[in-house]
Chains A and B, each alone.
Chain A
Amino acid sequence: MHDTSQTRGGIHLFRYAAPAEFYRLAGKAVPVFGTVAAILAAIGLYLGLFVAPTDAQQGESYRILFIHVPVAWMGMLIYVVMAFWAAIGLVFNTRMSAIMASALAPTGALMAFLTLWTGSMWGRPAWGTYWDWDARMTSSLILLFLYMGFMALHSAIEDPRRADRAAAVLALVGVVNVPIIYFSVQWWNSLHQGSSIRVGSAPTIALPMLVPMIVLTFACWSYCIAVALARARAIILERERGTEWVGALVAGRAGALP
């Protein structure tokens, strides 16, 4: 990719190899994860909307949980992953980690918003209210605000490297909210029910209802990976325009970028 004249010293290669390699690999991974997500979503939705039986207590309204639970898990998980990459970027000053954190934030925010939306659509028939300021719901709302704060802070600072560091600090402070969300239904007397699926104990829901939830969870995982990698590629181009590897990429492709 580089002329020998342009790669004097290993440090040069090391500095530019990471985003270049990432850009190439992510370009191959996005369609794979996207296709897997679409197939799993189709299977999961079919199982959830057509195969799973009517719930004895909740009627059909419980079918919202097939999407509510996966997006709620992803909302929390993405935050932890985002904070992890932000921390790595902060400590080692690596560009790719900060780009990953920035690429994950909008997807995490969407998952956090969908958690609140689907939750309130389920809460109304199940509890008689769309919203309650209890621990689970309030901490879930704070999760959405943390994602939005991360994005707002990052876009408010002109220099991307400084923006990375400031947003990383916010992400790290906010990570304390994730265990609060997760354990809120145990720590406080909440309107929200306890977990039906927990690490280390058997699930308390029937198999035909569990399977669509699991399938849609993997669909959600796969979707989030695909969309975050695609966004990371866009951010790489936006931020690495001046580098030699992007120049070589443009030259090699006669202007049409892969």
Chain B
Amino acid sequence: MNWGSLHDFLAMGGYGGYIWSAYGVLALGVAAEIAGVRARLVRARRVTAALRGRAARPRPPAP
């Protein structure tokens, strides 16, 4: 363990601003991507179910 206190950890030997900016933007980017993909999948399911929900009755075979 390198850090004597939480303050030491956050300060990162004077490089805290750079380090937490790098790690923070990575965390934000990953969180935003996960949220975006989840929302897209939910939307795709909803639209598909709405379009096909009543299409469960037998359909003529594809030409």
A5–B55 Cα distance when bound, in Å, is: 17
| Interface residue? B5 (CB, 8 A) | no
| Interface residue? B37 (CB, 8 A) | yes
A50 touches B2 (CB 8 A): yes
Per DSSP, chain A at the interface is helix
B19 touches A61 (CB 8 A): yes
Q: 8 Å CB contacts to B: which residues of A93-139?
A: 106-107, 110, 113-114, 117-118, 121-122, 124-125
B25 touches A50 (CB 8 A): no
A196–B56 Cα distance when bound, in Å, is: 58
The 0/1 profile, CB within 8 Å of A marked 1, for residues 46-63 of chain B is: 011101110110110110
A121–B17 Cα distance when bound, in Å, is: 9
B23 touches A125 (CB 8 A): no
| Interface residue? A230 (CB, 8 A) | yes
Contact among B9, B33, B44, B62 for A237, CB-based, below 8 A: B44
Per DSSP, chain B at the interface is helix
B29 touches A241 (CB 8 A): no
Query: With a CB–CB cut-off of 8 A, which chain A residues contact B59?
Result: 244, 247
A241–B55 Cα distance when bound, in Å, is: 11
| Interface residue? A238 (CB, 8 A) | yes
The 0/1 profile, CB within 8 Å of B marked 1, for residues 50-77 of chain A is: 1111100001110110011001000000
A49–B14 Cα distance when bound, in Å, is: 15
B41 touches A59 (CB 8 A): no
The 0/1 profile, CB within 8 Å of A marked 1, for residues 1-12 of chain B is: 111000001001
Query: With a CB–CB cut-off of 8 A, which chain A residues contact B23?
Result: 64, 67
